[in-house]
Amino acid sequence: MPRPLVAVLVAALVLVLELPGAHGFQIEEATVASIQLGFNNGSLTSMELVRFYLDRISRLNPLLHAVIEVNPDALRQAARADAERCSGRRRRAIGALHGVPVLLKDNIATRDALNTTAGSFAMLGSVVRRDAGVVRRLRRAGAVVLGKANMDEWANFRSFSGGGWSARGGKGRNPYVLSATPCGSSTGSAIAASASMAAVTLGTETDGSILCPASLNSVVGIKPTVGLTSRAGVIPITPRQDTIGPICRTVADAVHVLDAIVGYDALDAIATMQASKYIPRGGYMQFLKKDGLRGKRIGVPNGFFNFPNGTAQQMVYERHLSTMRKQGAIVIENLDIENLSVLLDFQNNGQLIALPAEFKLSLNSYLSNLLYSPVRSLAEIIAFNNAHPVEENMKENGQTIFLVAENTTGIGALEREAISQLNKLSANGLKKLMREHELDAIATPNNAASSVLAIDGLPAITVPAGYGKLGVPFGLCFSGLRGYEPRLIEMAYAFEHVTMARKMPTFLP
């Protein structure tokens, strides 16, 4: 879109977006807690919320490309939630997400009018057997499925386009600085959360796909320990690393969503069984502590904060470290993660060998489970892309990784060796460092540490931290060992509370 046209669009949007929602309830930026208050004191209904978001999507989406489909059933679901609340006709107690509209990344299956396509045309019209495990949990909690979020097509695994591009959804834009990358692959989820196009959203991460877009769109992203949330019914890359997590405007909202989606699922049995021991009795809300930084040992490993002196990032991150110390954290700088350069090198750490083989196996398995699909294998997707070179932007994006994956023949000696190298790197790297220094977390910028975490299924939370000279957001990421969600939430919540860094989107050119 040419710049002047963008400017006019933005001017028009900003004017319209000033309008308050129903009965004076301010829906823009509304938190889950305030939405529930609004429901309870009669100043808001779920129907009004859905109308607000649908209207906002229709205005903003031509510019931001955050949403790939809206749910034709959303208003009916909202009406049902409103009726349940009024009549008290509900078996379960009304939880935090009851009547709350949630937007799902387009690789998360729903058994309804919505398509599940990972951004592609190849899977348009495919019919899933059932909702994804996390969606079943959201529906049980009474949430309203608002629609599907745009994403980097095939979670970036077709090519490394990286900016939220998909054949069906177009190219995502950063709502702060429209020309800046919104990052991927959970691009639409992060943009929609940031620009109040949904109350809350879900993203998925294999290596950075929640942490990066959440950081660059100034929202909170939780990447749960692998297995804490079910991957059943989610278009996969690798079960060794894939995880589903919330992207929201506040830590508390993200924790509400996390509480709703964690837990055992027979269709992702081994991983969810193993991780279920990490789920605390009473859920995660108890860890929203304003003094959550007190006494925490936070490592700052070398090699991540490489911002030149005098840049906004360098100054702001420096200030945040000192703020955390003032809040009672023990911040330990100058730590070394062994073999960090290898760990961060996708080509040499083992991922380039393991992932393509795992991807082919798990994608073919997902495709074979569908009730109907125009494509039934990776090979057929490759053929589809070759047959639709214009729609699929083949000239620019190609499908190199698909071809590499199609060439693999399962998990053989080579792949096993790569996976064992990844495990060894993690054991000698972050895990050893955390144990030796008794760390509760390491702090790193944005998604800088995502590969270090990805290879071992480790959890992380990113929180808005500041804005660069041109207004592009950045985040601070807390990460740790498997099952460390409770203390990561404590630190992230306290950090958010004391810094209050998030500002509303600016829509700068």
Of 20, 125, 412, 509, the residue at the interface with ligand NAG (CB under 6 A) is 125
Minimum distance of ligand NAG from residue 428's CB (angstroms): 6
Asked if the peptide bond before residue 185 counts as cis, ω within 30 degrees of 0, the response is yes
Q: Is 15 buried (19+), middle (13-18) or exposed (0-12) by CB count in 10 A? A: exposed
Contacts of 88 (CB under 8 A, 6+ apart): none
Site string for ligand NAG, 320-359 (x = CB under 6 A): ------------------xx--x-----------------
Q: CA distances (Å), 453 to each of 2, 107, 115, 228, in order? A: 39, 22, 31, 15
With CB under 6 A as the contact rule, the residue among 66, 114, 177, 193 that binds ligand NAG is: 114
Stretch that binds ligand NAG, among 136-144, 164-172, 389-397, 420-428 (CB under 6 A): 420-428
Which neighbouring-strand residues pair with 17? Answer: none
Is residue 403 near ligand NAG by the rule CB under 6 A?
Answer: yes
159 is annotated as an active-site residue = no
Catalytic residue among 120, 161, 209, 451: 209
Q: CA-CA distance, 86 to 40, in Å (whole number)?
A: 9
Size of the site for ligand NAG (CB under 6 A): 24
Candidates 9, 37, 75, 508; binder of ligand NAG (CB under 6 A) is: 37
Is the Cβ–Cβ distance between 501 and 465 less than 8 Å? yes
Q: Which is nearer to ligand NAG, 25 or 495 (CB)?
A: 25
Annotation marks residue 126 as catalytic: no
Q: Contacting ligand NAG (CB under 6 A), which of 76, 129, 140, 424?
A: 424
Render the burial of 49-78: b for 16+ CB within 10 Å, e for the rest.
bbbbbbebbebbbebbbbbbbbbeebeebb
Strands 297-301 and 330-335: parallel
Active site annotation includes 185: yes
**Candidate ranges 50-58, 155-163, 196-204, 424-432; the one touching ligand NAG (CB under 6 A):** 424-432
Query: Which residue, chain included where needed, has tokens 């000033």?
Result: 18
* Interface stretch with ligand NAG, choices 81-89, 113-121, 162-170, 185-193 (CB under 6 A): 113-121
Beta bridge partners of 477: 444, 462
Asked if 124 touches ligand NAG (CB under 6 A), the answer is yes
Taking the alpha carbons of 486, 452, 102, 467 in that order, is the dihedral positive or negative? positive
Question: How is residue 392 annotated by DSSP?
Answer: T
Residues 48-87 that bind ligand NAG (CB under 6 A): 69, 72
Residues present in the chain in total: 509
Per CB under 6 A, the list member of 6, 22, 34, 274 interacting with ligand NAG is 34
Of 30-38, 149-157, 167-175, 432-440: span binding ligand NAG (CB under 6 A): 30-38
- DSSP string for 144-196: EEEEEE--SGGGGTS----SSEETTTEE---SSBTTS---SSSHHHHHHHHTT
Q: What does the CA dihedral 229, 107, 189, 55 come to, rounded to 10 degrees?
A: -120
Q: What is the smallest separation between the CB atom of 2 and ligand NAG, expressed in angstroms? A: 28
The CB-of-419 to ligand NAG minimum distance in angstroms stands at 12
Catalytic residue among 105, 171, 223, 296: 105
| Sites of contact with ligand NAG (CB under 6 A) | 25, 34, 37-38, 41, 43, 69, 72, 113-115, 124-125, 309, 338-339, 342, 403-404, 407, 421, 424-425, 428
Active site residues: 105, 185, 209
